[in-house]
Structure 1
Amino acid sequence: MRSIGEMARDSGLGVSALRFYDRAGVLVPARVDPVSGYRWYAPEQLDEARLLARLRRAGMPLADVRLVLAGWSSADSDLVRGLLQAHLRRLELGLADARSEFSTLRALLDHRENPMSTSSGTVTVRLSVPAAELAAALDAVRFAAGADPELPVLGGVLFDVEDDVLRVVATDRYRLAVARVGTTGHGGPRVQVVVPAPLADAMRALLSGDEPVRFTVDGDRVTLETGDRQAAGQCLAYDFPDYRRLVHLPSGRRVLVDVPAFRKALETGPVRAGEAREQGGASHDLSVLRVADDGTVTVCEDGDDAPDNVALDRGFLLDALAAGARDRLILEFGAPTAPLAVRRTDDEDAFSLLMPVRLDT
């Protein structure tokens, strides 16, 4: 007999997925311990679990999956072939529809005006920025910059200047971070530039003192100067997404956490395996969080599938805690499908958002 953990490891289905398929009557364990409720699977069920994993990766509806498994075990090849062919036709029709919609969307994009307030292409902006504040802002957002070559615009840090405020922003779709710095010398209309991540890192390396530094936007070129040193280069020639639409979340439950203790709980607590985000990508560990009635945040044990639990990429959450740079931070929980906000107690203009991961299959 295989334990549920061994079955998950060998089949490619997570433990929570196996529990889900048991409750749905799709893949029922051969034996369930009457005292502990622990599930055990017969050796021949491994092939069924692997088949189930393939069917679900192909997006087959659960009702059809149930029939395929039944036909597979009874050697009813006509039923199985018919169901597979019908699903393949649905996928092909869906792909054709999606191609048509995307073709229309591309045409709309080609004729759409740039909504940004001010393009940096012909603008010159000179700012004076406190070095320590800019360093802290870059430290607060850099972890969220993307590395997907198919989305190069997310591989940089947005410098968003309006009036006497500079906001720096980074996102890779799964997390977003924003920080705010006061400036002098501009006081004008909004200007946005996307600084490539390597150049942002070079700028950060210059920010070692307390004196103000000079930040200049000249067309598509940006320069940071401090004393007789500078870091300069070309901006990314892309428009950054409107992050302001992403940060207006419905109010949620706010919990103050002791960061060192919470970090230790994450690092030593149970994790669940998450699926790869991109095709060919690596899997990632998930931490499942629950907020108790007294405001305590706990890392759930495997098997705790309460509907209000929130599953997050553990590495991303640890990065966000480090970027928060405080011993106490506020975690703001909304719905299980809403982003988790990580906020500072003394500066809520510096925060990060982490997208949750669905546990059901």
Structure 2
Amino acid sequence: MRSIGEMARDGGLSVSALRFYDRAGVLVPAWVDPVSGYRWYEPGQLEEARLLARLRRAGMPLADIRLVLAGWAGADTDLVRSLLEAHLRRLELGLSDARSQFSTLRALLDHRENPMTSLHTAATATRLSVAAPELAAALDTVRFAAGSDPELPMLSGILFDIEGEELRLVATDRYRMAVARARATGHGGPRTQVVVPLPLADAMRALLTGEEPVQLAVDGDRVSLETGDRQTSGQSLGHEFPDYRRLADLPAGRRVHVETAAFRMALETGPVRTGETREQDGEPHDLSLLRVTENESVIVCDDGDDDQNNVAVNREFLLHALTAGARDELILELGAPTAPLAIRRPDDEHAFSLLMPVRLEN
């Protein structure tokens, strides 16, 4: 028998993925300890785990994976082969259509500069003063939402948007976005935007331990932060950042004040949606279903609750956003099930997080 850790190591699936596939009834352990709840797998299940990992990397829907595994276990090679060939055809058709659409988009981009994603780096040096506690709080608010996809290098940093007497920090990985601000002085020039890579942003945060103002400078593609006799500097990312103002321009939803600690406890101990996959990074995660009740409170719904107003979100992402909010009380803004969930601060609505909802499989 293999423990869940050994199964994860040898089968190419994470422990959280194995737990998810158990709840979804796709790869159920041979035995579960009734006292500890620990999962154990038979040796023959290793082959199924490796097959499952390959199918998920190939993007096969969960419903089809169930059929493939059933056919595999029953030695029904005709069924397995037909399912694999059908999925390959769907991928090829999707790729052909995507190439056609991207070809059209490239032609449009060749003839038109898109001002919504234009990143302006100052031709001359930009210098400003920022209160260290405010900049530290802003970095803490947005850091969790930064991307790590090597195919999208422009999202692997934090946008520093300098305009007038305000510095805005923004991070996004496409599935969540966080925005914060800090007051700035000494900048009288045009709006300046620069994408600071995460290692440099983390180095900046390490310097922000005092109460005195710090000096931020942008000189071409160089960004530096100076506090007292300490300084850190580095090269900015030479990529355009999405227009976060447009992304944050959302229809108003229902706003509900929540006590952060109590809501966190409800998420951590409450029910999760099983039998679903999250398509956001190819790795399954627990989903929480949220709904605003008639008495204006937010509840975590049961798995079988199919109310059309439920909003499904990645539970881990939501817990991160609550931590980044850094307030005893926060405001949750829920719109349609397809609209992003907003997490706002009661005392500063310019600092907020957005989480993209997860489409549920029917």
- TM normalised by structure 1 equals 0.76
Structure 1 position 174, deviation (Å): 0.6
**Is the contact between residue 175 and residue 356 of structure 2 (CA under 8 Å) also seen in structure 1?**
yes
Structure 2: segments with no counterpart, 5+ residues: 1-19, 29-50, 65-75
CA deviation profile, 1:254-310 (whole Å, cap 9, x unmatched): 00000011111111111224425367x321111111211001211112211111111
Give the aligned partner of residue 204 of structure 2. Answer: 203
Rounded to whole Å, the distance in 2 between the matches of 1:82 and 1:263 is 45
Rounded to whole Å, the distance in 1 between the matches of 2:108 and 2:118 is 20
Give the aligned partner of residue 336 of structure 2. Answer: 335
> Helix, strand or coil for the counterpart of 2:307?
coil
Give the aligned partner of residue 43 of structure 1. Answer: none
The equivalences for 1:1-361 within 5 A come to 9-11=24-26, 58=60, 92-113=92-113, 115=115, 119-120=120-121, 122-273=123-274, 274-277=276-279, 281-361=282-362
Residue-pair matches, total: 309
**Is the contact between residue 194 and residue 236 of structure 2 (CA under 8 Å) also seen in structure 1?**
yes
**Is the contact between residue 122 and residue 192 of structure 2 (CA under 8 Å) also seen in structure 1?**
no
Distance 1:12 1:276, change over 3 A: farther
Rounded to whole Å, the distance in 2 between the matches of 1:214 and 1:160 is 15
Structure number, greater radius of gyration? 1
Structure 1 position 175, deviation (Å): 0.4
For 1:195, give the aligned amino acid. V
Rounded to whole Å, the distance in 1 between the matches of 2:225 and 2:86 is 59
Alignment RMSD (CA, Å)? 3.3
Rounded to whole Å, the distance in 2 between the matches of 1:233 and 1:178 is 22
Structure 1 position 128, deviation (Å): 0.4
CA deviation profile, 1:204-235 (whole Å, cap 9, x unmatched): 11111111000000000000000010110000
Structure 1: segments with no counterpart, 5+ residues: 14-49, 63-74
Give the aligned partner of residue 19 of structure 1. Answer: none
CA deviation profile, 1:87-131 (whole Å, cap 9, x unmatched): 866654443232122123224334543636772162310000011
Distance 1:188 1:12, change over 3 A: farther
How many percent of aligned residue pairs carry the same amino acid? 66
> Helix, strand or coil for the counterpart of 1:188?
coil
Q: Which runs of 4+ in 1 moved over 4 A?
A: 5-8, 54-62, 79-91
Distance 1:360 1:260, change over 3 A: same
